[in-house]
Amino acid sequence: MSWGSLENFLHMGGYAVYVWGAYGVTALCICLEIVLLRKRAQQARR
């Protein structure tokens, strides 16, 4: 699968909002969970 250029890749055939909206929020949720888990582990150790 060759995209030709970074611009094409980001543009996602016109569906950029949907694709990156989905992947972005997912990544955000995962990062949020990891951060919250770290904080909880720290607090539990005290």
Partner 1 sequence: MFFPLAGKLIPWFSLLAGAFALSGLYVAFFVAPTDAQQGEAYRIIFIHVPAAWMSMFLYLVMAGWAAVGLVLNTRLSGMMASALAPTGALFTFVALWSGSLWGRPTWGTWWVWDARLTSELILLFLYLGFIALKSAIPDPSRADRAGAVLALLGVVNVPVIYFSVQWWNTLHQGASVSLTRAPSMAMTMLAGMLLMALAAWMYSIAATLSRLRAIILERERDLEWVQLQSGSLRTAP
Judged by the rule CB under 8 A, the positions of this chain that interact with partner 1 are: 1, 3, 9, 12-15, 17-19, 21-23, 25-26, 29-30, 33-34, 37, 40-41, 43-46
CB of 7 to partner 1, least distance (A): 13
How is 1-46 classified by DSSP, letter by letter?
Answer: ---SSHHHHHHGGGTHHHHHHHHHHHHHHHHHHHHHHHHHHHHHH-
Q: Cβ 26 to partner 1, closest distance in Å? A: 5
Shortest Å, Cβ 46 to partner 1: 6
